[in-house]
Amino acid sequence: MSTPLKLRSGRFYIEKHQYENIGWTERMVSMFLGGALISWGLRRPSTNKFLYGAYMAYRAATGRCLFYEQLGIDARKPRSVNIRGEFVIEKPVHEVFLYWRNLNNLPGSIQHLLDVKVIDEHLSTWKSNVIGNLFSINWEAEIVKEEPGRLIGWKSARGSLLQHVGRVEFTPSEDGKETFLKVVLSYRPVGGGVGIGLSKLVNPYLEILLKKEMKSFKHTIENKTPVYT
């Protein structure tokens, strides 16, 4: 005799993962901005302002930005952006190192570098029109690591407009007649996801600029008698 099949009730659910790509600061800004836009849109009927406000409220409530998602941006975990360049200089490594270490040589060798003033053995002030010819930017930099003939590492001083760290490595060729020069610049985008998004647009320009500047440096040191001291 067959036993009737008894169905037992159970709890079934679909596990949902909340995907977040903006941090709390941006969520708070979105909340206040969304409230202001919605209020404005209700007082002075405007579909656009109301929709923009609703979207900002959605960002605040969910921690999710659809535009950042399309760009592959996770503003909760800002990471440093590295720009690298490797070049061959047809000069012995000791000459290239000494030439670079004398910072007074650099403005005449790098096109967008307008001026360098040495304050002491490690600290200096820099002036550049890297953003464009309309205005220049100034910052202080400090040499934080130095290995004679091999490496110079620096970082921008606290409070400088252009916050970054960098290093340049000098490696001799097998015959000692050339120098393999490796430059690494690193910065952390500010402004949350907006800053990260802008960095994605700016980085290709910075890579091209670094290449051009190093070509200028290469031409200068290879064709000019440098001042080392």
pLDDT of residue 43: 74
Sheet holding 81-89, edge to edge: 81-89, 179-187, 165-172, 151-156, 137-147, 123-128, 113-118
Beta bridge partners of 185: 83, 166
pLDDT of residue 33: 74
pLDDT of residue 102: 92
Per-residue confidence in pLDDT tens, the chain, 229 aa: 555 545 454 454 444 445 666 666 666 766 777 677 777 777 777 777 777 777 777 777 777 777 666 666 665 665 667 788 888 999 999 999 999 999 988 888 887 788 889 999 889 988 887 665 556 778 889 999 999 999 999 998 877 766 788 999 999 999 999 999 999 888 766 555 555 555 555 556 667 777 888 888 888 998 876 445 5
The alpha carbon torsion through 194, 184, 137, 109 (nearest 10 deg) reads -150
For helices 93-101 and 192-223, what crossing angle results, to 10°? 120
pLDDT of residue 101: 93
pLDDT of residue 132: 57
Q: Which tokens go with 41?
A: 């849109």
pTM score above 0.85: no
Buried b (16+ CB within 10 A) or exposed e, 59-86: bbebbbbeebeeeebbbeebeebebebe
Q: How far apart are CA 218 and CA 88, in angstroms?
A: 8
pLDDT of residue 95: 93
